[in-house]
Amino acid sequence: MLGEKKIKKILEKALLSSRADETEVLIILFDSKLSRFANSVIHQNMAEYNAIFFSRAAMGKKVGASSSSGFDMEMMKKTVSRACEYARQQKENPDFSGFPHPQPFHKISSLDEETARLSPDKMAGMVKIITDKADSAGAGASGAFWVQFQEMAVMNSKGIFCYFPSTSASITNVVTRGEYTGYSEDSARAVRNIDFEAVADEAIEASASLNHIAEVEPGEYTIIAEEYAIAMMLEYLASMSFTATSVEEGKSFLAGNWGKQVVGDNISIWDDGFDARGFVLPFDFEGIPKKRVNFIRDGRAMGVVYDHYYASKEGKSSTGHAVPPNPEYNEPLPMNIFMTSGDSNLEDMIKSTDRGLLIKRFHYIREVHPLKTMITGMTRDGVFLIEKGEKVARVKNLRFTQSITDALSCVEKISLGRKLVMGRENYANVPSSLVVPKLKIRSFNFTGKTTF
């Protein structure tokens, strides 16, 4: 751990080497450890201590960006120099209004010492809890256990300096019993908050439950979607619809519907980087404090996230949602998504369902029509037929094509409990997160079935 003072001195030296009118530097140092396991045996242990360094430079209204790995001072200065050179080669952007000025932000830490110092032996012992339980159940466990300590800092020539240390941990687990699989995962800022026994039990139960296979034809079904499935749906909804870019490009269903009912009135979705139930992140990658943004409140369209560029362009204030400089992907994004809880539980949802499907998770999702929030994908690691309030059989995986907003307009029950799910994307090794419930959805469209 370098610490705030040492990192500040490093960034000051890098910043002073710039010959641009304005300069920004961002560094993310990370100490990552990863244990992969298959067939109940750890087969790979990895550790990496490294840094990702970014620089943006502005020459008038010309902006260039560059990045590199490591934290050698000469390398950083070369990165800043490249950003300056790239800026000289750009066309002027009339909408560029300069880099942001400093804003006060609430200093917080999300650093857990035990997690930061976790040894490979202790990690193996935690994985062993899962593999031993799978072995005892006559099954095999496969997955990955990831732990990271990181320091993130941003500085610019207008006086911004922000520093944030944090830790993260995540375990994914697939239990295989013959041709049947079950899935579970858990994430936390502190590794002691991950319940490895529960992670093992959840996947084992999903793999062992009901060996009878029922034939289910494509069509519309009531579904009970567990948190992993809901998290994937919301990630796609957020990237398609909850950004200033998607509104500007006419791809967001929120555009033109502000204040109007767009989904069921039992649905609220928002982003909050300060809520400790998710992965806390107090400022964005250009040093602007995070603000809570309500996307949907009680079913009504409310707002989207902004970075400094898009906010200045529209005469608004940034919500603190800039991502690291990237020439291929440079738009604000939500990274700390929450969805409202309800008053139900899984047992109530199943008992109240005359005929439907219980879905563990989705995978291989692709966008079909962003404006209509249409996606397609497949189920995975546990699909069960429900009849007359009981799980009666397993079902082979199904393909779906579904509008997310249509699904969120048909939510009959929402679980009281919510789960922290690590996002499928991270940004320069900074993880995103979602805190979501289970949902019972009255109508969900399945378009095909598989042979497995």
List pLDDT tens digits, range 355-368: 999 999 999 999 99
User: 3-class DSSP state for residue 137?
Assistant: coil
The average confidence (pLDDT) of the chain is: 95
Q: Which residue type occupies 48? A: E
Cα 363 to Cα 70: distance, rounded to the nearest angstrom: 34
4-208 topology per CATH: PmbA/TldD fold (3.30.2290)
Cα 442 to Cα 411: distance, rounded to the nearest angstrom: 6
The pLDDT, as a whole number, for residue 452 is 73
Predicted confidence band at 71 (pLDDT cuts at 50, 70, 90)? confident
Give pLDDT tens digits for 415-452. Answer: 999 999 999 888 888 999 999 999 999 999 999 988 67
The pLDDT, as a whole number, for residue 156 is 98
The pLDDT, as a whole number, for residue 450 is 81
Query: Facing residues of 46 across strands?
Result: 34
Give pLDDT tens digits for 165-212. Answer: 999 999 999 999 988 999 999 999 999 999 999 999 999 999 988 878
**What are the sequence ranges of the domains in the chain?**
4-208, 213-449
Specify the pairing of strand 336-339 against strand 430-449.
Answer: parallel
Matching residue, tokens 């567990």: 226
At 374, phi and psi to the nearest 5? Answer: -90, 130
Burial grade of 197 (CB within 10 A; 0-12, 13-18, 19 or more): exposed
Mean pLDDT along residues 376-397: 95
Contacts for 189-192 with beta carbons within 8 Å, 24 or more apart? Answer: 189/110, 189/112, 189/115, 189/276, 189/279, 189/280, 190/112, 190/114, 190/115, 191/112, 191/114, 191/115, 191/118, 191/126, 191/147, 191/167, 192/112, 192/114, 192/115
Q: pLDDT exceeding 90 applies to what percent of the chain?
A: 92
Q: pLDDT exceeding 70 applies to what percent of the chain?
A: 99
| Residue 399 pLDDT exceeds 70 | yes
Side by side, the strands of the sheet bearing 161-177 are 62-69, 41-59, 22-38, 140-156, 161-177, 180-188
| Residue 373 pLDDT exceeds 70 | yes
Which stretch of DSSP H or E encloses residue 430?
strand 430-449
Matching residue, tokens 């690291």: 324
Give the angle 116-119-124 at the CA atoms, nearest 5°: 125
Instruction: Give Cα separations from 341 to 234, 266, 335, 360, 418 (angstroms).
Output: 14, 9, 19, 18, 7
Q: What pTM does this model have?
A: 0.96
| Residue 284 pLDDT exceeds 80 | yes
Predicted confidence band at 163 (pLDDT cuts at 50, 70, 90)? very high
Give pLDDT tens digits for 87-145. Answer: 999 999 999 999 999 999 888 889 999 999 999 999 999 999 999 999 999 999 999 99
Which stretch of DSSP H or E encloses residue 228?
helix 227-241
The pLDDT, as a whole number, for residue 449 is 84
Give the gyration radius of the chain's Cα atoms.
Answer: 23
Cβ atoms 38, 142 nearer than 8 A: yes
The pLDDT, as a whole number, for residue 328 is 59
Give pLDDT tens digits for 306-340. Answer: 999 999 999 999 999 999 987 656 789 999 999 99
